[in-house]
Amino acid sequence: MLNLEGDLPGLLRSLIDIESVSGNEQRITDEVEVALSGYPHLKVIRDGNVLIARTELGRRERVVIGGHLDTVPIADNVPATITGEGDDLIVHGRGACDMKGGVAVQLSAAAALTEPNRDLTWVFYDNEEVEADRNGLFRITRERPELLAADFAVLGEPTNAGIEGGCQGTMRVAVTFTGLAAHSARSWRGRNAIHDAHGLLVRLAEHQAREVEVDGLIYREGLNAVRIEGGIAGNVIPDRCRVLINYRFAPDKDIAGAEAYVREVLAPYDLEVVDAAPGARPGLDRPIAADFAAAVGGTPGPKFGWTDVARFATLGVPAVNYGPGDPNRAHTDDEFCPAADLERCRAGFLTWLG
């Protein structure tokens, strides 16, 4: 059983030792449900493998704090191990930083904050590491959005125990070139579709990424070719070439604005939008966000990349990322989380909400 009132490294080890690769979150959700159900100040709601624990104290403001329970596949890194001691203690294992470290902090804080100064909604969800339509938080935003209504949200993704506001949006577009197949020994009889992509690739290589200020944070954008497909054999002039392009955009624009920008930059090429997800403004100009930043300390920075804070943004809830562990260690075989980060994040929540 999970001990929410013991030491944080021990709780994190227990969470890591419950294998919960995406799609296999039943057992860990069961354990979290049992642990949280023992606290009378929390109303526990389960929906599939999404668990929500709420306080109902009639406070003026409500905060959602969430984290995902799943991990990428294990790689001989379960069960957890410990190295170092004291302030240098480190917990190693799959999910240590992405993001069972954040889950451990949130479970410990949920148990400790019996009389928070704001009402709290703790959310633990499944299938974050796989395709979006399986994401448990995404499902709740569509089916039971009232459970996520709040004035502010925090997602426990790893940030080295610092605040990263909002997130970038992302869009993928494709450009397809059509040529004429021919034997490569008689190449003049065909038209090389891969060669035709040259102008587009030069345009992308010369593109200057924009830096955009949003709520006091500077987001650096990116527009890059990420895949090229073309050709069928080593002796055939390719009659088709498809270039996949990824645009990471600042949260000052929505999907329509992002598409308009890409079409303007890459005109007159004919673009096909493959998929897109909006970003999230950090909302750090809100008084509640200022209180959070003051309580946890440090200087907030932008989130480079996309996270589930965007789910909250679609509901009109400003959100930030704040969790233990180095995001550069996420998904690596030697994934780990420093105990000092765990303690710092827990202290930040208790200071802000206690």
Catalytic residue annotation:
70, 128
Extended strands (E) in 87-127: 90-92, 119-125
- For residue 57, the Cα-to-chain-centroid distance in whole angstroms is 30
268 preceded by a cis bond (ω within 30 of 0) = yes
State whether residue 228 is helix, strand or coil.
strand
CB atoms inside a 10 Å sphere around CB 58: 6
SS3 of 137, please? helix
Q: In the chain, which ranges are E strands?
A: 43-47, 50-54, 62-68, 81-83, 90-92, 119-125, 152-155, 164-165, 169-178, 182-183, 211-214, 217-220, 222-230, 236-237, 240-249, 272-277, 301-302, 319-321, 336-338
